[in-house]
Amino acid sequence: MLASALGVDEDAASARLEGRILVTAGERASCADWAREICDLLDRTMSVTRDPADDVKVELVVGDAVPRSDAKRLYARIDASKAVIGLEPPKVASTEPHPLFAAIAACSAAAATLSLAIDAEELPKVGLPITVPFDQLGISREALDASIDLDGAALIGAGAVGNAFLRALRHVDARGTLPIVDPKAVGGGNPNRCLYFTEADVEHPKAETLARNASPDFPHVALIPFNGNFHDYVAKNGPHRTAIVTVDSRRVRRAIQAEVPGRVFDASTTDIRAVVVHSHRQPTANACLSCIYRHVPDEQARERAIAGGLGISLDMVRESLISADAAALIAGAHAGIQAAAIEGMAYDSLFKQLCAEQALKSAEGKQVLAPFAFVSALAGNLLVVEMLRVQTGQADTNYWQVDPWGSPIGKLRSCRPRIVDCEFCSIPHFVAIADQLWREKSEAA
Ligand SMILES: [Zn+2]
């Protein structure tokens, strides 16, 4: 898979697909807001137009608007308790959704629209109509009005899910100081999935860029960039109470667990097919971050595929970030890649950019890698939901896997146990530190 993906040159990788989506929105203010939220997600994958005179592949009719084209048509409607996206105009009440619920439903609307517009066998199947009942999200409408106090928390990872987390957080009352921890620079393919990044941000430090670009959305939050990894951050600032984890790799997640944060909120994407949300508080008898993202043979295979595909050693891949030497080696072996463009990037990010984004054939039969911003967006939204659930005492589970191409199913939430050979929980020394650092604090809280 990687070898074929490397056949794609850098310009074609993460390129928007051809064709346009016409968006027609009803006049209600909440409807226009929802349409804008959906457009922001679609726009990273295909061009969006509001002009019916354009040549369009699919028209998305949001709210009670009248369709304006003869193109294939999809209807998306939303009320306070649900959103429905289907081929016929669905019936909904005339109540207003909470903007965070609307942001979550925007991901489903984007999935359905792209599925219809791209119509490719490689994509997961979408069963229409998609209904998103907000009660499946496991949080009451009232709990969304609670303030989130960010003091003592750090956002680790300023990539697609980190961006999406802040995009979601702007819909609730967040307060305090939030460090953003990321050692990398914005890569060429990043703006396609990172909603706060633009082409002008490429090569600038991710943490600084995200803090700067997201700040206008947060009148009560100070976003403080830290250009380094979580280990450096903890070395400088001491043990950390709350880690909001949005990094790309399983290995880096386990390294974060080894820093023994008191509380973890984590969200990840498994290519474009699944979103996983995990949270726990130390000391815990149940799964930690390293249990959830334990070292799996699949991961070794993935590292071997990266090493083999890029023509570098396995040890280099395990360094997590692409060093100058590795970048030169990779560039030497692959005509389409420039060393400067990939130095400092995470191997997992490069892997995602090159092959985990869905490989699709363009109209001319060329292979293109389509970015699906809505998948990361869903992960970011569900992370905010998880923080609010925990804060308002509505969470008794630590794991949830959601299909971004379908409806969220609340019953799939579970409480994952520790695994026997966890590289954190199975080491008495680590468990003792977690206990010593956080037991009293968690009992006092
Ligand atoms: Zn563990």
The domain limits of the chain are: 1-17+147-445, 18-137
pLDDT tens-digit map of 376-422: 999 999 999 999 999 998 888 999 999 999 999 999 999 999 999 99
Distance in angstroms (rounded) separating the CA atoms of residues 181 and 195: 18
The larger pLDDT score, comparing residue 338 to residue 60, is at 60
| CA 5 to ligand 1 centroid distance, Å | 34
Q: What is the pLDDT of residue 242?
A: 97
**Is the bond preceding 225 in cis, omega lying within 30 degrees of 0?**
no
Is a pLDDT exceeding 70 seen at residue 363?
no
Mean pLDDT computed over 337-348: 82
Mean pLDDT comparison of 2-16, 223-237, 367-381, highest-scoring range: 223-237
| CA 172 to ligand 1 centroid distance, Å | 31
Q: What is the pLDDT of residue 3?
A: 31
| CA 287 to ligand 1 centroid distance, Å | 5
Expressed in angstroms, the distance from the first to the final Cα of the chain is 48
Mean pLDDT computed over 272-276: 90
| CA 260 to ligand 1 centroid distance, Å | 11
| CA 255 to ligand 1 centroid distance, Å | 12
Q: What is the pLDDT of residue 354?
A: 60
Minimum mean pLDDT range among 256-260, 268-272, 361-365, 381-385:
361-365
| CA 313 to ligand 1 centroid distance, Å | 28
| CA 223 to ligand 1 centroid distance, Å | 30
The larger pLDDT score, comparing residue 191 to residue 155, is at 155
Q: What is the pLDDT of residue 335?
A: 61
Q: What is the pLDDT of residue 357?
A: 42
Minimum mean pLDDT range among 8-22, 113-127, 370-384, 402-416:
8-22
| CA 388 to ligand 1 centroid distance, Å | 24
Q: What is the pLDDT of residue 108?
A: 98
Q: What is the pLDDT of residue 255?
A: 96
Is a pLDDT exceeding 90 seen at residue 368?
no
Minimum mean pLDDT range among 297-306, 375-384, 419-428:
297-306
Q: What is the pLDDT of residue 307?
A: 78
Return the closest-CA partner of residue 129 out of 171, 167, 91: 91
Q: What is the pLDDT of residue 443?
A: 54
Mean pLDDT (the chain) is 88
| CA 293 to ligand 1 centroid distance, Å | 9
| CA 295 to ligand 1 centroid distance, Å | 11
pLDDT tens-digit map of 429-444: 999 999 999 987 655 5
Q: Which residue has the tokens 């990894």?
A: 229
Mean pLDDT comparison of 265-279, 344-358, 366-380, highest-scoring range: 265-279
| CA 400 to ligand 1 centroid distance, Å | 17
Distant-in-sequence, close-in-space partners of 328: CB < 8 Å, separation ≥ 6: 339
Return the closest-CA partner of residue 266 out of 241, 285, 247: 247
Distance in angstroms (rounded) separating the CA atoms of residues 41 and 371: 10
Distance in angstroms (rounded) separating the CA atoms of residues 225 and 155: 10
| CA 277 to ligand 1 centroid distance, Å | 16
Distant-in-sequence, close-in-space partners of 375: CB < 8 Å, separation ≥ 6: 107, 269, 272, 275, 404
pLDDT tens-digit map of 82-104: 999 999 999 999 999 999 999 99
| CA 424 to ligand 1 centroid distance, Å | 5
Is a pLDDT exceeding 70 seen at residue 355?
no
Domain covering 1-17+147-445 assigned CATH 3.40.50.720 in the classification: yes
Minimum mean pLDDT range among 77-86, 116-125, 275-284, 402-411:
116-125
| CA 259 to ligand 1 centroid distance, Å | 13
Q: What is the pLDDT of residue 10?
A: 34
pLDDT tens-digit map of 156-202: 999 999 999 999 999 999 999 999 999 999 887 778 889 999 999 99
| CA 429 to ligand 1 centroid distance, Å | 13
Task: Give the burial string for 82-120 (b: 16+ CB within 10 Å, else e).
Answer: bbbbeeebbebeeebbbbbbbbbbbbbbbbbbbbbbbee
pLDDT tens-digit map of 35-88: 999 999 999 888 999 999 999 999 999 999 999 999 999 999 999 999 999 999
| CA 101 to ligand 1 centroid distance, Å | 32
Q: How confident is the model at residue 122 (pLDDT cuts 50, 70, 90)?
A: confident
Q: What is the pLDDT of residue 338?
A: 80
| CA 85 to ligand 1 centroid distance, Å | 39
